[in-house]
């Protein structure tokens, strides 16, 4: 059987092919078979996307986000800039203490999330779970932890344990299970089952084949995911400062509440620098762990790559069998430079976690009493009741959804060109790609809370500030995802189109963009999910939506209203996530 490569090329690229005989005689064109009709699911999914787009446009209009409102805010922006300079940085010693406390809380919370997520992921993964019941329970835990925002966890835990670092750490750790546990479970399910089957065939127990084959294989993904979650928890810790979690976030909240903008923006700048530095550091380590770095990379990132290869990842090129002087194969590897480096790295990690645990100043003296009071505390939250605020809360929840929709649309409009120019296989030069990659890193380092506070001062209280903050935040994540999706396209299809004499723009639209379009849709739906969750939280600083009423109900100890709002948020988030998951699957 022969394959018509030209016809295959036309089918892949969508460019019609004109067949010319090599002997000079013409051949009749063979009509292509008709395209199969799209399934009912694909039609429904496409209609859903159109409805979401219409709803997003309606949200932008309903929230009055337009050029005229931006122009009216220019005077406020100028006044705000004049009020923040000169920046008022705290003394160096005080700043180091605040920074250390924030990092300690984030480190302990991330470690807690990893420790809790790994067993949950093992039960949630189809190839390591003990049965469908445990898998269903574990998957439910992951979904619920992801659906409940950190702020809601913090409000409940502060009521139970009082002020201090412990409630904040638990809130960050529990919410992190939603993302970390899911990614761990997905990584475990994608493993090669051969090594585990070999251990089982030799009589190994479940614990033995999990610890000897599963965990070692996914160790790079485990560490990379933990580092990524560390970045997210660092940004979230700033938000939790508004409900009493210590560190820079608490000092920032106090400064802005008292309108000390010079001190507040100075602390915001410190947070930005900290987020960008740790984003670059953890990103370089993650790339090294997953083998996504260029060979012989130089500079700081090259040094990080060599360190990671020495004590986190296995040596490149494998390891030969080691033999002693008598010629026998050594069972235990000798203490060479690489083994010493790995040991030192693991010891350093343990020391950092131990130091962070001590520095976080956790108070367990009343832990037993607090746990015994758990039924009484939960009784104050049940049963949920809106009291006489049902109409107000429903309207606020609608505004929250509108903020998420409008922010996703505006973020997409800005992220598409930035992501396109950040893709190395699309940008005109490496300098352009690196420039836009740098812009993406800087934007990703901006916590949405700080952006919301700035926009509140400029545009006033309300949903416009929250929408603009989330839109800029969306540019960072969507821009990176767009660039990565474009770089992962099949270059052979692009080369085939280019060989026909197509211009770079034609190659981009006919080959590159068409391949990445399904991933773009998935990324936008994911960003919409994230933005609706984040819009719930930004309301606590006056950026519109349900978060404002959530914080107020907590402050006046109307915990039945708090529970009712939690249920509203949970139902909305789960509904949006269900629609997004179904749409992504239908369009595959």
Q: pLDDT by residue (tens digit) across 213-243?
A: 888 888 888 888 888 888 888 888 877 877 7
The full DSSP string for 82-113 is HHH-S--PPPHHHHHHHHHHHHHHHHHHHHHH
Residue 316's pLDDT is what? 44
**Residue 157 burial by Cβ neighbours in a 10 Å radius (0-12, 13-18, 19+):** buried
Could you tell me which residue, 325 or 51, shows the higher pLDDT? 51
Q: How far is CA 158 from CA 32, 141, 150, 165, 292, in A?
A: 66, 21, 12, 10, 41
Q: How far is CA 499 from CA 401, 504, 513, in A?
A: 47, 11, 17
**Where do the H-state alpha helices sit in 445-462?**
448-459
Considering only residues 90 and 325, tell me which one the structure prediction assigns the higher pLDDT: 90
Mean pLDDT throughout 448-470?
Answer: 84
| Cβ neighbours of residue 11 closer than 8 Å, sequence gap 6 or more | 32
| Most confident region among 36-50, 119-133, 326-340 by mean pLDDT | 119-133
Q: 388-588 belongs to which CATH class?
A: mainly alpha
Please give the C-alpha separations between residue 475 and each of 352, 414, 470, 551, 576, in angstroms, as whole numbers.
33, 6, 9, 28, 21
Per the rule left: phi > 0, alpha: psi between -120 and 50, beta: everything else, 384 is: beta
| Mean pLDDT for all residues in the chain | 79
Please tell me the predicted confidence (pLDDT) of residue 311. 44
Cis peptide before 86 (omega within 30 of 0): yes
Tokens standing for residue 282:
């953890």
Mean pLDDT, range 99-108, rounded to an integer: 90
* 323 DSSP β-pair partners: 329
Q: CATH 1.10.3720.10 region(s) of the chain?
A: 89-280, 388-588
Q: Which tokens go with 196?
A: 């585990």
Cα 396 to Cα 564: distance, rounded to the nearest angstrom? 13
Please check whether residue 464 is in contact with residue 65, taking contact to mean a CB–CB distance below 8 angstroms: yes
Sort 65 into a burial class: Cβ within 10 Å, 0-12 / 13-18 / 19+: buried
pLDDT tens profile 469-518: 999 989 988 888 888 888 877 777 877 877 887 777 877 777 777 887 78
pLDDT at 576 over 50: yes
Residue 57 three-state SS? helix
Question: Which letter, b or e, does each residue of 434-467 get, where b requires 16 or more Cβ atoms within 10 Å of its Cβ?
Answer: eebbebbbebbbbbbbbbbbbbbbbbeebbbbbb
Tell me the pLDDT band of 209, cut-offs 50, 70 and 90: confident
Q: 410 versus 521: which is more confidently predicted?
A: 410
- Which residues, including other chains, have CB under 8 Å from residue 120's CB and lie 6 or more apart? 138, 141, 142, 177, 181, 184, 185
Query: Minimal CA–CA distance to 447: which of 281, 274, 285?
Result: 274
Residue-level pLDDT at 358: 85
- pLDDT tier, 336 (very low <50, low <70, confident <90, very high otherwise): low
What is the average pLDDT across 275-288?
75
Q: Residue 330: what pLDDT? A: 52
Torsion of CA 44, 47, 51, 52, to 10 degrees: 80
CATH architecture of residue range(s) 89-280: Orthogonal Bundle (1.10)
pLDDT at residue 2 tops 50: no
Q: For the chain, what is the largest distance between any 2 Cα atoms, rounded to a whole number of angstroms? A: 93
pLDDT of 408 higher than 90: yes
pLDDT in tens, 6-51: 444 444 344 444 444 444 444 455 555 566 677 777 788 888 889 9
Q: For residue 1, what pLDDT band results from cuts at 50, 70 and 90? A: very low
pLDDT score at 327: 56
Q: What is the pLDDT of residue 441?
A: 82
pLDDT bin (cut points 50, 70, 90) of residue 290 is low
pLDDT band at 556 (very low <50, low <70, confident <90, very high): confident
Please tell me the predicted confidence (pLDDT) of residue 289.
64
Asked if the model's pLDDT at residue 197 lies above 90, the reply is no
Alpha helices for 148-205 (secondary structure H): 150-161, 165-189, 194-201
pLDDT at 156: 83
Taking the C-alpha atoms of residue 393 and residue 561, their distance in angstroms, rounded to an integer, is: 10
């Amino acid at each position: 059987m022969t394959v018509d490569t030209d016809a295959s090329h036309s089918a892949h690229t969508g460019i019609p092919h004109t067949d010319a005989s090599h002997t000079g005689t013409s051949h009749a064109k063979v009509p292509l078979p008709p395209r199969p009709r799209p399934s009912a699911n694909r039609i429904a999914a496409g209609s859903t996307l159109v409805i979401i787009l219409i709803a997003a446009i309606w949200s932008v209009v309903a929230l009055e986000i337009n050029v005229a409102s931006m122009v009216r805010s220019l005077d406020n922006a100028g006044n705000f800039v004049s009020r923040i300079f000169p920046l008022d940085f705290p003394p160096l010693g005080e700043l180091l203490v605040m920074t250390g406390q924030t990092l300690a809380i984030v480190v302990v919370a991330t470690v807690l999330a990893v420790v809790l997520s790994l067993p949950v992921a093992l039960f949630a993964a189809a190839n390591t779970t003990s049965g469908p019941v445990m898998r269903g329970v574990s998957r439910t835990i992951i979904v619920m932890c992801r659906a409940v925002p950190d702020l809601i966890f913090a409000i409940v835990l502060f009521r139970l344990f009082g002020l201090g670092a412990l409630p904040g750490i638990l809130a960050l750790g529990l919410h992190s299970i939603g993302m970390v546990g899911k990614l761990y479970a997905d990584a475990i399910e994608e493993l090669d089952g051969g090594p585990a089957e070999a251990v089982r065939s030799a009589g190994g127990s479940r614990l033995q084949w999990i610890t000897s084959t599963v965990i070692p294989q996914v160790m790079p993904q485990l560490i990379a995911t933990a580092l990524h979650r560390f970045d997210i928890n660092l940004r979230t810790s700033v938000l939790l400062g508004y409900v009493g979690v210590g560190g820079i976030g608490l000092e920032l909240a106090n400064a802005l509440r008292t309108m000390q903008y010079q001190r507040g923006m100075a602390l915001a700048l410190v947070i930005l620098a900290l987020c960008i530095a740790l984003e670059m550091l953890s990103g370089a380590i993650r790339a090294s762990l997953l083998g996504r770095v260029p060979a012989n990379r130089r500079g700081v990132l090259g040094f990080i790559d060599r360190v990671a290869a020495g004590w986190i990842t296995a040596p490149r090129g494998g390891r030969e069998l080691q033999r002693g002087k008598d010629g026998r194969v050594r069972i235990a590897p000798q203490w060479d430079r690489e083994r010493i480096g790995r040991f030192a790295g693991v010891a350093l990690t343990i020391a950092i976690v131990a130091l962070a645990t001590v520095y976080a100043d956790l108070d367990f003296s009343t832990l037993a009493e607090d746990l015994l009071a758990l039924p009484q505390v939960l009784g104050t939250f049940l049963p949920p009741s809106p009291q006489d605020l049902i109409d107000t809360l429903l309207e606020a929840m609608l505004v929250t959804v509108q903020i998420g929709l409008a922010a996703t649309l505006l973020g997409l409009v800005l992220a598409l060109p930035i992501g396109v120019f950040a893709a190395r296989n699309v940008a005109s030069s490496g300098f352009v790609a690196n420039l836009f990659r740098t812009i993406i890193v800087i934007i990703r380092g901006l916590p949405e809370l700080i952006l919301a506070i700035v926009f509140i001062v400029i545009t006033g209280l309300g949903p416009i500030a929250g929408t603009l903050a989330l839109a800029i935040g969306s540019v960072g994540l969507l821009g990176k995802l767009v660039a990565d999706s474009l770089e992962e396209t099949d270059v052979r299809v692009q080369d085939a189109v280019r060989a026909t004499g197509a211009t770079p723009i034609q190659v981009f639209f006919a080959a590159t963009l068409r391949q990445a379009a399904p991933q773009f849709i998935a990324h936008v739906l994911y960003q919409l999910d994230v933005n609706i969750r984040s819009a719930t939280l930004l309301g606590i600083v006056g950026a519109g939506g349900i978060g404002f009423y959530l914080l107020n109900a907590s402050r006046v100890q109307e915990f039945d209203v708090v529970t009712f709002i939690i249920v509203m948020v949970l139902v909305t988030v789960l509904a949006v996530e269900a629609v997004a998951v179904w749409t992504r699957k239908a369009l595959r």
